[in-house]
């Protein structure tokens, strides 16, 4: 048998089949996307990347979460490589999960550090507020004490000036008879100087004293006077009351005639109830027959009496 193997030409039908086969394979290959462009996008990798970027931008991360950030970046790189090499999806997703978790751990550490800082600063704020409150209290106490001291000083000054005013009045009316009473400075106008016995009309000699008083009152418009008439015990109470009242009014009218404003003048009768000497002797009775002019303080008040005592 002759089994010569000669170089034979491929029969035509077989050549066509071979060509279709090659074309077919290429088509399938193309369709299956082996000649590929971009790696498939796995969403977990994008999510992981976003979380890692967030951690990178956290201001505290550099201080408290450097290890977490490093681990996250390593895992993210592994995920991206796996994605590019198109390894089985579950492995890529696994790396992406690790990356995301590392980033979340870093973010939690950052948030914790932030909260701790806030607590520390709040401690400072709390101490500041307490200090301010204590300082305010101390200042309030100091200013209250200062105010009390000022009031005490004022009271002392008032008392001092009262003494000085009394001295001034005494000096003013030095040649007239003045006395200090617990009601203040009183100028005594002896009855005989002013009135005839049993009468309530002023004698001409009374003028000088009254002019002095009038001049003073016109100079000190805030000072008021309480003019009180007194009698001796001669005669009845009712008579003496009316007589003493009339005498006080006479002095008041005389001062008004000397242009002293009426709001500065008060008058009343005291009858014989307040003798300054014995009524048994003529001399004593003479002393009891008098008009007393009580001066207010420069503010118009009579010490020991409510501010608007007496009738104007």
Q: Report the C-alpha gap between 39 and 13 in whole angstroms.
A: 41
**Facing residues of 178 across strands?**
187
CA separation for the pair 123, 57 (Å, rounded):
28
Output 128 or 148, the one with its CB closest to another protein. Answer: 128
- Name the one range near another protein by CB under 8 A: 133-141, 164-172, 285-293, 294-302: 133-141
- Choose which of 23, 27, 133, 155 interacts with another protein (CB under 8 A): 133
Asked if 151 interacts with another protein (CB under 8 A), we say no
Tokens standing for residue 31 = 């369709």
Which of 111, 138, 152, 155 is the binder for another protein (CB under 8 A)?
Answer: 111
Bridge partner residues of 229 (DSSP) = 269, 291
Taking the C-alpha atoms of residue 186 and residue 194, their distance in angstroms, rounded to an integer, is 16
Alpha carbon distances (Å) from 278 to 156, 234, 275, 286, 292: 38, 12, 7, 10, 17
d(CA 83, CA 40): 7
What's the longest Cα–Cα distance across the chain? 201
Q: Is 122 in the site for another protein (CB under 8 A)?
A: yes
Report, in Å, the least distance between residue 98 CB and another protein: 6
| CB closer to another protein, 118 vs 151 | 118
Interaction between residue 134 and another protein (CB under 8 A): yes
Contact flag: residue 81 with another protein (CB under 8 A): no
| Coil vs helix vs strand at 178 | strand
Total residues at the site for another protein (CB under 8 A)? 28
Indicate which single residue of 45, 55, 79, 102 sits in contact with another protein (rule: CB under 8 A): 102
Q: Using the rule CB under 8 A, is 273 a contact of another protein?
A: no
Which region among 17-25, 100-108, 160-168, 301-309 touches another protein (by CB under 8 A)?
A: 100-108
Q: What angle do CA 125, 127, 129 make, to 5 degrees?
A: 70
List residues near another protein by CB under 8 A. 90-91, 94, 97-98, 101-102, 104-105, 108-109, 111-112, 115-116, 118-119, 122-123, 125-126, 129-130, 132-134, 136-137
């Amino acid at each position: 048998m002759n089994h010569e193997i000669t170089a034979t030409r491929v029969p035509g039908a077989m050549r066509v089949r071979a060509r279709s086969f090659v074309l077919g394979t290429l088509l399938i290959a193309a369709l299956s996307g082996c000649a590929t462009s971009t790696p498939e996008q796995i969403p977990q990798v994008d999510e992981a990347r976003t979380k890692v970027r967030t951690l990178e931008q956290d201001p505290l991360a550099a201080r408290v979460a450097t290890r977490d950030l490093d681990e996250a970046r390593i895992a993210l790189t592994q995920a991206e490589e796996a994605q590019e090499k198109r390894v089985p999806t579950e492995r890529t997703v696994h790396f992406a999960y690790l990356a995301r978790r590392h980033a979340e751990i870093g973010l939690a550490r950052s948030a914790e550090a932030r909260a701790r800082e806030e607590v520390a600063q709040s401690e400072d704020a709390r101490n500041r507020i307490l200090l301010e409150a204590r300082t305010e209290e101390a200042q309030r106490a100091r200013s209250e004490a200062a105010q009390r001291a000022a009031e005490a000083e004022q009271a002392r000054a008032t008392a001092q000036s009262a003494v000085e005013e009394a001295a001034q009045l005494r000096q003013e009316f030095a040649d007239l008879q003045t006395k200090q009473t617990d009601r203040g400075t009183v100028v005594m106008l002896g009855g005989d100087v002013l009135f005839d016995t049993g009468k309530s009309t002023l004698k001409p000699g009374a003028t000088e004293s009254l002019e002095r008083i009038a001049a003073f009152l016109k100079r000190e418009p805030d000072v008021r006077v309480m003019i009180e008439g007194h009698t001796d015990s001669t005669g009845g109470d009712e008579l003496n009351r009316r007589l003493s009242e009339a005498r006080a009014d006479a002095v008041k009218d005389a001062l008004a005639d000397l242009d002293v404003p009426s709001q500065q003048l008060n008058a009343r009768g005291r009858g014989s109830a307040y003798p300054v000497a014995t009524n048994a002797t003529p001399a004593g009775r003479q002393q009891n027959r008098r008009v007393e002019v009580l001066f207010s303080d420069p503010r118009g008040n009579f010490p020991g009496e409510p501010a608007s005592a007496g009738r104007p």
